Structure 1
Amino acid sequence: MNVKALLFGLLFLLPAPMWAQGYAGLGGSADGFDIPKQGYQFQFPRDHGPHPSFRIEWWYLTANLIGEDGRDYGVQWTLFRSALKPTQTDGWQSPQLWMGHAAVTTPDAHYLAERLSRGGIGQAGVTAAPYEAWIDEWHMRGPDPDTLTLTASGEEFHYDLSLTALGPLVFHGDAGYSVKSADGQASHYYSQPFYDVEGVLYLPDGDVAVTGQGWLDREWSSQPLAEDQSGWDWFSLSFDDGDKLMAFRLRGGRGDFTAATWISADGTATPLPDGSASFIPLETARVEGRDVPVTWQVTLPDYDLDVEVTALTPKAWMATRFEYWEGPVKVSGNRSGRGYLEMTGY
């Protein structure tokens, strides 16, 4: 959400006639599935693992990296879980479906790959302790989410990264209950935005050692959008002074719904309600036949924030089963930094 970012797992379940509805399909009925509840008490390591009684869920990691060549890079590793039914069984009868997305973005290129799997056969899944999320040979694993190794590959790229958390988990909204619309749709949503990252990217132009910062989003729900909401713009920004911001705008026929979390350098999280942040597209680019905003003005008056958020490259289009834009950004203005931007419904 991401939001992240993020609700593609549900779309994987939709019959073909509904695909034309795009992300609006995420506002469909959730009959039979659990619904997020305010006051939910997170328990770890349990909640690092899957929640099969909810319809959709994701493990979503992005990283802003700098290579030994001095260039900026971005990495995405995502595992989505979707459920046909709110149950978990072994074998091909399992109603749990899995989808993986991986990408590397450079200043002039965007490499991506996608994997699909049925649950219950061992090809994909998540365990909470020891911590491991995988699909095929792609893995995010460690003794716990504080210390991870990350690997994925596509036809034109491969990466091996190590991640170490240097701060606490952050819970969005009301202690992890993140509202997504005026009608009350919501998710359970927490992040680990304090990863220190190092490793190697294997690219067509050669191998490059990288270091940087990573951000993991964990979110699950069953009906995260209202019926009129068709897409979103989600920002995860890390400022040079150590503060961070998660903010999103959900676009709907009745107007936008926004939310944000200000994360101080020490990990203190302050949730900000609808209307606290504003997002103004300043420049668009023609990307895969679509006009996509690639420069934004983001303001947050409560924290005297007024910044421009600019894509490292407009080419960061995820031409996967359900298409979206996802890529690294640079931040300038009265704060400087780096981050990630996700945009759907364009």
Structure 2
Amino acid sequence: MKSDDKGKSYYGRYRGRGSSRRKGWRAYAGPLLAVIAVLVAGLYFARESDQEAAPTAASGGPADAAGKPVERTAALPPLNLPADDAPHGSGMEWWYYSGILDAKTGNRYAFHVAVFVANGLVKHTVMHVALTDLQNGRRFSGQSRTGGLPAKSTTSGFDFRQDGWQVAANGNAHVVRAEFEGVSLALNLNDAGPVVAHRAAGSATPGLLDFGKSGISYYYSRPRMAAQGELQVAGRQIPVSGDVWFDHQWGDFDVLSFGWNWFALHLADGSDVMLYDLFDSDGRKVLTSGTVSTAKGAVPLKASEIELTPGRKWTSPDTKISYVVEWNVKLPSGTYSIKPFVDDSEFEAQQTTANVYWEGPVKVTGSTEGQGFMELSGYERLGRK
């Protein structure tokens, strides 16, 4: 993310909601206040725990015998798979799938499925799902929230079952099932490649990212899970297949203190790119991180090696939030243009997680072609004090 010397942001400002949205808000006021209270409580206790137990940050913190700064992440348990596929007791955690599916007819469909678990005075589990028909841009979505953890116990993985939906994994074999808005999604996924453990360039602790005062996050991906399954759209059964990106992230980090631009890209040269660009409520950069993975392994990118230039914005007709939906990206491997398949990919999750975000499929052109997913989160808080 770039800003000028005066620290101005390229992002649009939040402009409020229309009267129809305010009526909808009042209808969900009670449940939303409850969710917000749970999230804030969980984040408060997470921060208190961090202040008491977390090691000092490398910047200005202790050094080892050789004078090298000690990483905060080095004091935490290392990533341990498959045990770490399972739910943790951290303040925030999510499991996330996104991909573009191909039908034998030539039609294409994009989807994302996410499971969120927030731990506070009360544990809440939330599921989000969206499916976009790329032939006509029609979008279907669903969301569900419940107290507790609706998951069956497994030895190595997870098995969430809620309102007829299922998101489960046992090692590298995953299952995703959901019915919503008259459509359904049923996928079996398998991963033959190595897990990508994200880390900052120069860090000795793979699988962990330090967000500074906002906390620390465990983070790993399975960038190209082979998916086979079936969609039901307009009463038709449609066999589909494709490469799906899977993310698992957890920790005691404060999701209310920052927003992000996130990119998960499958490139035609066989490489996979994850870019994570965090910003504060004024649109100023907090952290830029990335990973390029190939058959030879995964390489973390330095912040100086990632240049993200925002382009065209799209403003939601429903929430009036403006999102940067087109980007120019410069990496050591080349220069790329990222554009959405469908502008209107906003997910309004007020009734389950009390937030709004943009999540949708993107096309990549430039030094090489490709496709993937982009998530824009926290834009509703930009410029608000």
Question: What range describes the TM-score normalised by the shorter chain of this pair?
Answer: 0.7 to 0.9
The TM-score normalised by the length of structure 2 is 0.74
Amino acid in structure 2 at the alignment position of 1:281: P
Question: Distance in 1 between the 2:78 and 2:208 partners?
Answer: 10
The answer as to whether partners of 1:109 and 1:313 remain within 8 angstroms in 2 is: no
Give yes or no for the alignment of 1:169 onto 2:195: yes
Choose the corresponding residue for 1:145, options 155, 162, 171.
171
Shift of 1:17: 12
Choose the corresponding residue for 1:222, options 252, 264, 268.
252
Shift of 1:199: 1.3
- Please name the residue that 2:88 is paired with: 51
Choose the corresponding residue for 1:178, options 209, 212, 225.
209
Choose the corresponding residue for 2:264, options 236, 244, 253.
236
**Deviation readout 1:133-181 (Å, 9 max, x if unpaired):** 3333211234x23112211111232111111112011100140111234
Shift of 1:281: 2.1
Shift of 1:194: 2.1
The answer as to whether partners of 2:292 and 2:301 remain within 8 angstroms in 1 is: yes
**Deviation readout 1:271-316 (Å, 9 max, x if unpaired):** 123332122222222223222222211111x22x211111110121
The structure with more helix, counted as a fraction of residues = 2
- Please name the residue that 1:110 is paired with: 139
- Partner of 1:148, secondary structure, is strand
- Please name the residue that 2:227 is paired with: 197
Give yes or no for the alignment of 1:31 onto 2:53: no
- Please name the residue that 2:10 is paired with: none
The alpha-carbon distance between structure 1 residues 15 and 131, as it changes in their structure 2 partners (threshold 3 A), is closer
- Partner of 2:84, secondary structure, is helix
Question: Distance in 1 between the 2:193 and 2:186 partners?
Answer: 22
Shift of 1:69: 2.7
> What 5-or-longer segments of structure 2 have no aligned partner?
1-32, 56-71, 200-204, 380-385
The answer as to whether partners of 2:313 and 2:325 remain within 8 angstroms in 1 is: yes
Question: Distance in 2 between the 1:184 and 1:15 partners?
Answer: 19
CA RMSD of superposed structures (Å): 2.8
The answer as to whether partners of 2:46 and 2:91 remain within 8 angstroms in 1 is: no
Name the stretch that deviates more: 216-225 or 107-116: 216-225
- Please name the residue that 1:213 is paired with: 243
Question: Distance in 2 between the 1:261 and 1:201 partners?
Answer: 31
Give yes or no for the alignment of 1:136 onto 2:158: no
- Please name the residue that 1:22 is paired with: none
Amino acid in structure 2 at the alignment position of 1:68: K
Give yes or no for the alignment of 1:73 onto 2:101: no
The alpha-carbon distance between structure 1 residues 280 and 127, as it changes in their structure 2 partners (threshold 3 A), is farther
> What 5-or-longer segments of structure 1 have no aligned partner?
1-10, 19-24, 86-94
Amino acid in structure 1 at the alignment position of 2:304: G
Question: Distance in 2 between the 1:235 and 1:12 partners?
Answer: 31
- Partner of 2:304, secondary structure, is coil
- Please name the residue that 2:186 is paired with: 160
- Please name the residue that 1:284 is paired with: 313
- Please name the residue that 2:30 is paired with: none
The TM-score normalised by the length of structure 1 is 0.81
Equivalences for residues 324-343 of structure 1 within 5 A: 324-343=357-376
- Partner of 1:163, secondary structure, is strand
Amino acid in structure 2 at the alignment position of 1:330: K
- Please name the residue that 2:274 is paired with: 246
- Please name the residue that 1:100 is paired with: 127
The answer as to whether partners of 1:262 and 1:271 remain within 8 angstroms in 2 is: yes
The structure with more strand, counted as a fraction of residues = 1
Structure with max Cα Rg: 2
The answer as to whether partners of 2:156 and 2:171 remain within 8 angstroms in 1 is: no
Question: Distance in 1 between the 2:152 and 2:252 partners?
Answer: 19
- Partner of 1:41, secondary structure, is coil
